[in-house]
Amino acid sequence: MKAMRVLCNFRLHPELLREVPMDMLNESRALKNHGKTLDELNKTGGLSPMEIIANIQDISFRELGSERNIFDEDMFILELNNYLKEFKNSKI
């Protein structure tokens, strides 16, 4: 299964997976938000937890950032971990 790299300070957040399944992500939203495909984004380093949440919710990361404190990385990591659990449970 293909996976997207997660851009994060893993020394501060060792609990976060370093990759998320590409099946969770929306190709058209990646193009809208970044002007690049998911594969292109992965080759250039991946996506931050906030960018991944915006992609999953199919909204722009700017829109997501205007709704929340974009500097609260812990909140985005917690939310991303919840999405990962839901995704895994739906695949069982």
Q: Kindly tell me if the per-residue pLDDT of 22 is higher than 90.
A: yes
Q: How far is CA 54 from CA 11, 37, 64, 92, in A?
A: 24, 15, 6, 25
pTM of the predicted protein model: 0.83
Give me the percent of the chain exceeding a pLDDT of 90.
46
pLDDT at 18: 86
DSSP string spanning 60-76? -HHHHHHHS-TT-HHHH
pLDDT tens-digit series, residues 43-79: 999 999 889 999 999 998 778 766 665 567 778 888 8
Domain that holds residue 55: 3-90
Reported as half-sphere exposure (CB side, CA atoms, 13 A), residue 13 has a value of 18
The structural domain count of the chain equals 1
Q: How far apart are CA 92 and CA 83, in angstroms?
A: 15
pLDDT at 31: 97
